[in-house]
Amino acid sequence: MARPRIYKTQGVVLRQMPLGEADRILTLFTPDMGKLRAVARGVRRTKSRMGGHLEPLTHVSVSVAHGKALDTIAEAETIHSFRGLREDLGRVSRAIYVAELVDGFSAEHSPSPNVYRLLLEALHRLQEPSGSGQLIRYFEVQLLRQSGFGPELLRCVECRSDIEPGDHLFSSAKGGVLCQRCRPQSGEALLPLSLNGMKVLRYLQREEYAKAATLTVPQALGDELERVLGSYTRYVLDRELKSAEFMHLVTPGRSRRATGARRG
Amino acid sequence: MEQFHKLPGIGPKTAQRLTYYLVRMPKDEARLLAEAVLAVKERIVFCSQCYNITESNPCVLCADPGRDQARICVVEEAMDVLALERTGAYKGLYHVLHGVISPMNGIGPDDLRIQPLLGRLKGGAVQEIILATNPNLEGEATSMYIHRLISPLGVKVTRPARGLPVGGDLEYADEVTLGRAIEGRQEF
């Protein structure tokens, strides 16, 4: 076999699971291999050389040895520890949510450099103390887009006619907006999406992070976008995200309405 | 053999060795072992105050009048109590959470013993809470969450210091550990 015994890559640690006495199974997101699961030996011991470098939400450069079932991390060195994220409950809960989304939307051995860049930029921006604006919504929209689930916001998902200005309905099952004529034909659960809500989503879909970071929307509109995108990502991933629940719990000033509707 | 293999840290070879050892073991000793295993399941309960595992309720630590009743050290697992007790440096009470907030593994605050901890603070006898969760992402998040719940009660909240492990190597320390070690340096 010609492949080298050890390969080098970099990645963001998305999650970890304890394994045996002192080991962990890590899930990393890498630019060249997509999601990578690997064993890190001895990292739960206090004296582990690698332990501190392989915490979740660390941008790390690693040497990995091929293994029979799972590869093993041989060396690890932090590129960026995102310390600013870890020391604030609200920020860390958002970063965990971002990581769980990437984990859910990505597959092993399926490289996605765009999602990698999106993730790194999100973690850097979430560190900044100046409110996160619509960063989380931006991340959701862009991650959906990069994963091939970008919401259709220009044409009706039913009849393909152009969407006219006005209030509309969003269908998670069809992944986009329904025009006013197609409304009654659909028996599935639909969420209201106002004209302004749709404009913000379109804006997030085509703009840069920097713009999203400075975008502020009224609370009610923010809740509406959160409901639509939350319901859509849940539909695509086909599961509830515990990290979304935790993010709600620790983010002050969330209205009960938004939380209630999320469960309903 | 398969039963041994289910235990943590026991691979197929060790399971074989243990089974073979049991075959050769005198019957009396085997009975003692069997009884000890059953006793764990039958007699061990959670302490109604600190949720440590114990044979008596309240546990020996909670029942000991010599311990400092004004301090509660919050830990993730019962094993952490043993580790802290081995140091002999802490004389207060404990509170075992039985886990850590880990949204990615589906564990939220409601799955831990956080409410009983808040209940223990109601009497006003407790002056200090030491949040000794593990110094990793989940442990930190758990501590920050508990801190947020406790802070309106006006109880002092502390954390164990972060720093370099004894016998460690400066060169291999990650930047967070090293950074906090320098920040928290003490006069020689």
Mean pLDDT, 10 residues at a time, chain B of 188 residues: 80 87 90 89 86 87 88 92 91 92 87 88 86 89 91 88 80 82 85
**What's the count of helices (H) and strands (E) in chain B, helices before strands?**
8, 6
* pLDDT class of A264 with cuts at 50, 70, 90: very low
Residue B3 is predicted with a pLDDT of 82
Does B137 reach chain A within 8 Å, measured CB to CB? yes
Extended beta strands in B97-155, E state? 128-131
Q: Which residues sit opposite A6 in a β-bridge?
A: A65
Q: Closest to B103 (Cβ–Cβ): which among A20, A83, A242?
A: A242
Contact call for residues A116 and A85 (beta carbons, < 8 A)? no
> Are β-strands A59-65 and A23-30 bridged in parallel, bridged antiparallel, or unpaired?
unpaired
Residue A187 is predicted with a pLDDT of 65
Mean pLDDT of chain A: 85
**Which residue type is seen at A81?**
S
Q: What is the pLDDT of residues A157-197, one digit of tens each?
A: 888 888 888 888 888 888 888 887 777 665 677 888 888 88
User: Distance (Å, rounded) from C-alpha A147 to C-alpha B68?
Assistant: 56
HSE of B127, CA atoms in CB hemisphere, 13 A: 4
For A59, phi and psi rounded to 5 degrees? -90, 120
Q: How far is B26 from chain A (nearest CA, A)?
A: 30
Does B157 reach chain A within 8 Å, measured CB to CB? no
Q: What is the ipTM of this complex?
A: 0.78
Phi-psi region of A238 (alpha: psi -120 to 50; beta: other; left: phi over 0): left
Residue A109 is predicted with a pLDDT of 86
Q: What is the mean pLDDT of residues A196-209?
A: 88
For tokens 């501190």, name the residue. A52
Residue B103 is predicted with a pLDDT of 87
Q: What is the pLDDT of residues A18-43, one digit of tens each?
A: 887 789 999 999 999 999 999 999 88
Residue A259 is predicted with a pLDDT of 38
Residue A64 is predicted with a pLDDT of 93
- Closest of A75, A21, A46, A228 to residue B83, by C-alpha: A46
Task: Collect all residues of chain B within an 8 Å Cβ-Cβ radius of residue A242.
Answer: 103-104, 106-108
Q: How far is B180 from chain A (nearest CA, A)?
A: 11
User: Cβ–Cβ contacts within 10 Å for residue A40, how many?
Assistant: 26
Residue A37 is predicted with a pLDDT of 93
Rounded to 5°, the CA angle A75-A80-A81 comes to: 90
Q: What is the pLDDT of residues A210-242, one digit of tens each?
A: 777 778 888 888 888 998 999 999 999 998 888
User: Distance (Å, rounded) from C-alpha A183 to C-alpha A26?
Assistant: 45
